[in-house]
Every structure is written in structure tokens, then in C-alpha cells.
A and B are shown apart, each in its own frame.
Chain A
Amino acid sequence: MKNYQLSAKDLAAFFEKVLSNNLRLIAPIKVKQNESQNVTKLKNKAHILFREIPSKDDLKNIVIDAYTDMSAKEIFFPRSEPVIEYTNKKSGVVIKDIDPQAKETVLFGARPCDAFGFSLLERLFSWDYDDPFFLKRREKTTVISLGCTSPLESCFCTSVGLSPMNTEGSDILFTPMSNNNNDKEDRYLVEVITPRGEKLIESIIGISSDLKNIFTEGNSLVQAKAAFENKVKEQMKRKEDFKDITEILKYKFDDSQLESETYRCLGCGVCSMVCPTCHCFDIVDEGEASHGYRMKNWDSCSFALFTKHGGGHNPRDMQFKRCRQRYMHKLHYYREKFADALCVGCGRCVKACPVNLDIYSVVYNLKKAYANNKNKEDKEK
């Protein structure tokens, strides 16, 4: 597929074209806490979140050089959404399907890890039974990811086999580049990854002569990107490879170390909420017996009620068992079923956890203990 380059100052012109083509544009903006909550202490706290950019005047709010607090999974898989509407009257029950409201959308600013997360979720939501809500929105959304040039301390995408500029899951990847190594990045390498990405670029640039002038030939930057990618990877502080943790976890199910590592978990579930790949949900009726909606709501395996039977039995009756489920699901079960681990190394759960539980450290410690044990065994032999 084609590569272009685009000057950073021309990004707004591109967005304007997206909007004037009647596409819904979603990008990260700063959202002040007090817009939704009236808690004085939090009034000045702002979160970076994915939101719709309704008009040209709002383009200035787009935040490009920060990381979002929530992943963009809610574009495809909202926190709460109706799946049917029911009316139950004397004359009978009527069920109405809900339109997933899948509009042609351009999602800008997802990070390469987030984008890979979409492709992970797609495997689950199309596992034998196609979830039309997720899949229709996914089909209508062109994902333009933004390559990472300065990973955070909590980032560990390379541990799970990704990179700050990997392409899978994105339709188009924008990577900030500089003219030479020492300058500030002032342009983007625009890599078109999928036919969907190509369609967007063609439908936007193809009909506009001004855009043709700003999207110039980009092949010359490809080599520089590879070097830049390696350089950024080098900067990452967390590099422990997660590949062999799956094998280790198979034998760690009843290991006391996993229990002690996760003993302090409070069960608040924030890790699942910020995670780009956590997908567990609840199905509940909201409304009256006569009329209401059946809702699909985000849920978390960290919650005590998550697996509690009607009869009272709870297979995961202690918090460490719930944590164990989370790690096992992500690093062992999902890999067995869908080829990859259900973790993209974005580090949001690491930043959000109120008791500093850190999936990377847990894996690191388990691996270390396993290696130590093995050494000991080998010596005894």
C-alpha cells in the first residue's frame, strides 16, 4: 500500500476534509472532570478521552502529544448499550431490535497498542456467534493510529510482541518524524495499511487538489521510520518478554506466589475499565415489566458477584482467585484460543490501580521465581 508524508501543520486541513465529507471524527480531547461531576476536589482534574469532534471549531481541542486515560474500545463496545427493546402488554410481547448506530467514522489518535486491541476483540466478538453491535461499528470505522515517539514508564508493548509503531489493527498509521535525528518531529509518515484505509485516503485526497499537494510521496521516510522505531524501542524501560509466561502460568494455577502477588487487590475493577481488551459484560433488563431495554453493560472479573451462582456458591470466592482469572485469561487462555495474549502493554491498568498492582511486575516476578526454581532443580540433578 501507499506511503505519504504530511506536514504537522497540515493535519488540521486533513481533519477539515474528513468533517466536510460527513464522516464522524473521533479523537482524543481534554475533558474536565467538572463537566460530569460536581466534586470540588476533582474540579480541575482533566482526563484525555476519545470524543466526537463535531465541527471545525472543535479541531483545536484535539490532543496529539498525550496518552488517553481510557482506551478507544468504547467506540465499538460502549460501557452500556441496549441490545433489544421490549414492550410487554396484554396484547402480547413485542421485541424491537436496536440499530447499532454504526456511522461512517474516522477514529484518529488511537495508539498502535490500542489498535491491536481492536483486532484482538474482533476475534472474540466473531467467535462462532457474530456480535453485530461490535462488528458493524468496527466495519464502519477507519482507524488512524498515531505512532508513539515517547513511551511512558508504564508502557510495555514490546513485552507482548508489539512495538510503538506496529501496524496491525490500524487502517492508517501516522508516525511523527523529523527531518533529521536531532530536530523536533514536524511531519508524519502516513502508512496506508488496509484497503479500508486506502479507501478513506482516496476518497479524501482523490477529490481535493489542495490535499493532493499536502499529502506528498512518503516512501523516502520508510527507512528512517524503521531506525526511529528501534530507537524508541530502546528507550522503553520495560522489556521483559511475556512470550514464555503462558507455559509458566499453566503450572502456576495453584501456586502460592500468584496468590501473594495479588493479595492486595481491592476488587475495584478499574483495570478492566481502562483496559483496551477487557471485554466481559453483563446482560440485564433495565425498565419495567411492561416496557424497557435489555442492556449489555461492562463488567469485570474482579467483582465478587461476577461468578456468584444463584444458589450462593461462588467458584471465585476470594479476591486473589479473581485476579488469577484476569491474568490467566489474558496471558494463557486467550493465547490458547485466539493465538495472542489479551494484553497490549498499554500500561493503563498499571497507572490506574489504587494499590499499585502491576501486571508487568507480576509477570516479571513469576518468571524470576520460575527461573530460580529451575536452576535449583537443575543443580540438584
Chain B
Amino acid sequence: MCKNIYRPMLTKIISIFDETKDTRTLRLEFCDQAEKDAFSFKAGQFGLYSAFGSGEAVFCISSSPTKKGYIECTFKKIGKVTASLRNLDIGDVVGFRGAYGNHFPIDNLKGKNLLFIGGGIGLAPLRSLIDNVLDLRSEFAKVTILCGARSISDFIYKDQIKEWEGRSDLTLVKTVDAVANSQEESEWKMATSGHATGGRIGLIPKILSEMNPNLTDTLAIVCGPPIMIKFTLQELEKLGLPAARIITTLENRMKCGFGKCGRCNIGPIYICKEGPVFTAEELKNLPASDF
């Protein structure tokens, strides 16, 4: 009982990746060797990252647990804490508490066909799981990734998406909500490398319906903004995937991360403790007007 649960561990920024003009990924390494050795997490879990003097903010861990020695977080500059985190440089210190919450049921995914659907910054929690799956590729059946963003420049993990496109052991479909002009459109549609087809234009649920994927023995993992999740879940069910086989993540404002500060619940469910990973079936029992 002596441990101070509010005390963050200290991490050092070892790399910075600018994803879009306002979204950044920090790669963090634990300063203390004992903490580094003891730390473990599973894809889907989150943490509280702090910029001292500004406070804490909650993001998922966007790197895979199979990548040892560091963790990554991807965040958009949107308020006080994210602005301060963005001001930090390589070598600067970031506080970290976690990992908290439940995780993607990776053991239940083994041997199954997987359909990953990520929209916007929702690709961050998904990437932790995708990398985890790809690092243990032989344990899973077919892998399909459908990712979308508002515009071409709004894609995060651009390099990684390129890398996925080049792999022959997965199918990748990417789409944008809209393009700026006809030149951008033709470039986007041509944008093929390796085996993937060119970029699509349209909202994720629409593209999903056009893809009309074979969903036998498939689990879908969907992350993105609430509105995208809502319509994507509807589309998946229309395509015949039962809600129990659709996995998604929720997020809400959090302060403590361990079920005490009282703000992240939707109905009786605390996202920080019983989430952030839920099946679409579990969501059906939660009051829609509390989202």
C-alpha cells in the first residue's frame, strides 16, 4: 500500500516523428533501467503522459509490445498538455503512468482472418495491434487493413502504410474523404507501390461496402472517431458480421486512469478499467445518449 499510484515514471524522448502538421509521435525510453525491465503492456492499453508544469493527458500506447525497449504515443496538438509535449525535444523528459485498461484480445485473434479498420488518429491504437500481429504473422490467417483520413496529408504513419502496401502477406486499402483537386486525385488513385491498388476516395463505411469482403471466420477491429465507428459498425453488421466479432475502442476524458476520478464512465462502465477495448455487442448494452 505504500506505493504512490500518482507518481509517474520518467521517460526520455529518443525520436520524434511528425505525422501531419499538427500530429506528432514521440518515441520514449524509460530513464530508470529497473522500470524499463519491469514494464510490460499489451496492445490496446493506454497511459497518462505528462509535461511537467502543464499536466497529464491520456493517449494509447501506439507502438507494439513486440518492439522492446521503448514505447510510442501519437497525439494531436489540441490543448495545454499536448502543446507542451509538442514543445519538447529529443532528450527531454516526459512523465508516464500506465499501462492501464484492458487490451485487444490478441489470443482470440490467433488463427482468424483479421480486418483492421482505422480512421484518422484512430490508426494509433490500431497500429500497436497491427504491428503486434505482423511481428507474429504466421499465427494469424488473412490480414486486411482499411485505413482512411480526411485528406491525403491527414494520414498518420505514412511511411508505415507504404511499408504495409509493399507486403504480400496482407491487403491494404486506403481512402480519403476528399481530395483538393483533380491533379491530387489522379496522383492519389495512382499511388501504388508493391502489390496494393491505388487510393480510394470516400468515407470508410462506403468503401467497406464496395470492398464487400468475405467475412468468414473473421474478426474486425475498428478504431477511429465516434461517428466513423458508428457507421462502420452498422456497415459491418449489414455485411453479416455478428457484433460479438467486432472489436472497437472507446475514449473519454480521464484524469486518474484507474477508476477513481469518476469521469470516463459510459453508463456503469468505466472506460479506464473495463475498457478501452470493447466488442460491438458490449456497446449495445450501454446507453447511447451517454457517448
Give the interface of A toward B (CB within 8 A): 83-84, 86, 88, 92-93, 95, 97-98, 124-125, 127-132, 135-136, 253-254, 279-285, 287-290, 292, 294, 296, 299, 301, 306-311, 313, 315-316, 321, 325, 328-329, 332-333, 336-337
| Closest Cβ–Cβ distance, residue B130 to chain A (whole Å) | 24
Q: Residue-by-residue, is B54-84 near A (CB-CB < 8 Å gives 1, otherwise 0)?
A: 1111000000000000000000101100101
- Assembly CA distance A374 to B259 (angstroms): 36
Any A CB within 8 A of the CB of B133: no
Chain B contacts for A325, CB-based, 8 A? 265, 290
Given A253-B267, A285-B55, A311:B78 Cβ within 8 A: yes
| Closest Cβ–Cβ distance, residue A128 to chain B (whole Å) | 7
**A282 touching B287 by the CB < 8 A rule?**
no
| Closest Cβ–Cβ distance, residue A31 to chain B (whole Å) | 28
**B258 touching A86 by the CB < 8 A rule?**
no
Chain A contacts for B10, CB-based, 8 A? 93, 95
Q: Which 7 interchain pairs have the tightest Cβ spacing?
A: A289-B53, A280-B262, A83-B6, A129-B258, A333-B268, A93-B93, A310-B78
Given A88-B93, A254-B287, A287-B53, A132:B1 Cβ within 8 A: yes
Which candidate, B166-174, B205-213, B232-240, B249-257, is the interface stretch facing chain A? B249-257
Q: Would you list 16 pairs from A and B whose C-beta atoms are within 8 A, ordered by A residue? A: A84-B7, A129-B260, A253-B267, A253-B287, A254-B289, A285-B52, A285-B55, A299-B261, A299-B263, A307-B263, A309-B253, A310-B253, A313-B226, A325-B265, A325-B290, A333-B265
**B79 touching A280 by the CB < 8 A rule?**
no
| Closest Cβ–Cβ distance, residue B283 to chain A (whole Å) | 14
Given A253-B287, A283-B256, A88:B8 Cβ within 8 A: no
- Assembly CA distance A301 to B5 (angstroms): 23
Any A CB within 8 A of the CB of B3: yes
**A125 touching B260 by the CB < 8 A rule?**
yes
In addition to A93-B95, A253-B290, 11 A-B residue pairs with Cβ atoms within 8 Å of each other are: A83-B6, A88-B52, A97-B4, A125-B260, A129-B259, A254-B287, A285-B55, A289-B52, A299-B255, A307-B264, A310-B82
Chain B contacts for A294, CB-based, 8 A? 6, 50, 55-56
Any A CB within 8 A of the CB of B2: yes
| Closest Cβ–Cβ distance, residue B16 to chain A (whole Å) | 18
Q: Which B residues from 274 to 291 make CB contacts under 8 A with A?
A: 287, 289-291
**A95 touching B8 by the CB < 8 A rule?**
yes
**A283 touching B6 by the CB < 8 A rule?**
yes
Q: Per a CB cutoff under 8 Å, which of A135, A283, A316 touches B290?
A: A316
Q: Per a CB cutoff under 8 Å, which of B3, B5, B261, B289 touches A280?
A: B261
**A92 touching B93 by the CB < 8 A rule?**
yes
Residue with the greatest number of chain A CB neighbours at <10 A, chosen from B54, B56, B76, B268: B268
**B4 touching A282 by the CB < 8 A rule?**
no
Chain A contacts for B268, CB-based, 8 A? 328, 332-333, 336-337
Give the interface of B toward A (CB within 8 A): 1-8, 10, 50-57, 76, 78-79, 82, 84, 93, 95, 226, 252-253, 255-256, 258-268, 273, 287, 289-291
Closest to B121 in A: A311
- Assembly CA distance A228 to B173 (angstroms): 76
Chain A contacts for B263, CB-based, 8 A? 280, 299, 301, 306-307
Chain B contacts for A316, CB-based, 8 A? 290
Chain B contacts for A292, CB-based, 8 A? 52-53
- Assembly CA distance A292 to B54 (angstroms): 10
| Closest Cβ–Cβ distance, residue B100 to chain A (whole Å) | 9
Main SS at interface, chain A:
mixed
Chain A contacts for B226, CB-based, 8 A? 313
Chain A contacts for B78, CB-based, 8 A? 310-311
Given A283-B6, A294-B6, A131:B260 Cβ within 8 A: yes
Closest to B4 in A: A97
Chain B contacts for A129, CB-based, 8 A? 5, 258-260
Given A310-B79, A333-B268, A281:B260 Cβ within 8 A: yes
Chain B contacts for A328, CB-based, 8 A? 267-268
Residue with the greatest number of chain B CB neighbours at <10 A, chosen from A280, A283, A308, A336: A283
Closest to A100 in B: B4
- Assembly CA distance A285 to B53 (angstroms): 5
**A131 touching B5 by the CB < 8 A rule?**
yes
| Closest Cβ–Cβ distance, residue A99 to chain B (whole Å) | 10
| Closest Cβ–Cβ distance, residue B290 to chain A (whole Å) | 6
Given A283-B55, A288-B53, A315:B291 Cβ within 8 A: yes
| Closest Cβ–Cβ distance, residue B120 to chain A (whole Å) | 11
**B54 touching A285 by the CB < 8 A rule?**
yes
Given A129-B5, A294-B6, A310-B79, A282:B261 Cβ within 8 A: yes
- Assembly CA distance A337 to B100 (angstroms): 19
**A307 touching B260 by the CB < 8 A rule?**
no
- Assembly CA distance A254 to B56 (angstroms): 33
**A283 touching B255 by the CB < 8 A rule?**
yes
Chain B contacts for A130, CB-based, 8 A? 1, 3, 5
| Closest Cβ–Cβ distance, residue A43 to chain B (whole Å) | 36
Q: Per a CB cutoff under 8 Å, which of A127, A136, A253, A290 touches B259?
A: A127
Given A284-B55, A308-B253, A315:B290 Cβ within 8 A: yes
Chain B contacts for A124, CB-based, 8 A? 259-260
- Assembly CA distance A256 to B176 (angstroms): 40
- Assembly CA distance A336 to B95 (angstroms): 34
Chain A contacts for B76, CB-based, 8 A? 311
Closest to B261 in A: A281
| Closest Cβ–Cβ distance, residue A226 to chain B (whole Å) | 37
